[in-house]
Amino acid sequence: MVRAFEEFARNPRPGEVYNLGGGRANSVSILEAIARMEALTGRKINWTYSEQARKGDHICYISNLAKLKSHYPGWSVTRSLDTILDEMVVAEREHSRE
């Protein structure tokens, strides 16, 4: 996100609206995220699932980054979802040692 703000600050386009997120390459469901975290940590996560959707929840959401990329070709996603999940595990392990 910081890189997107930097690009915008260099060449502001007042009034424009952009989607910002990971795009299709970095999108997973919460169930996929749980499975990845369990695989990374080797630990089972205690969770429950409800068939009833919460009011206002999206069934699926993937950020369309096309407009942002076309207006700011110097910007791109710099950290993958897998990298971020790895960093979360490392940070938690370091925090647990304190």
Provide φ and ψ at 32, rounded to 5°.
Answer: -65, -40
Give the type of residue at 92.
E
Is the distance from CB of 40 to CB of 89 less than 8 angstroms? yes
Q: Is 40 exposed, middle or buried (0-12, 13-18, 19+ CB in 10 A)?
A: middle
Domain boundaries, the chain: 2-97
pTM: 0.73
Each residue of 43-90: pLDDT tens digit? 999 999 888 888 888 888 899 999 999 999 999 999 999 999 999 999
Specify whether the CB–CB gap between 37 and 85 falls below 8 A.
yes
Token code pair at residue 59: 């069934």
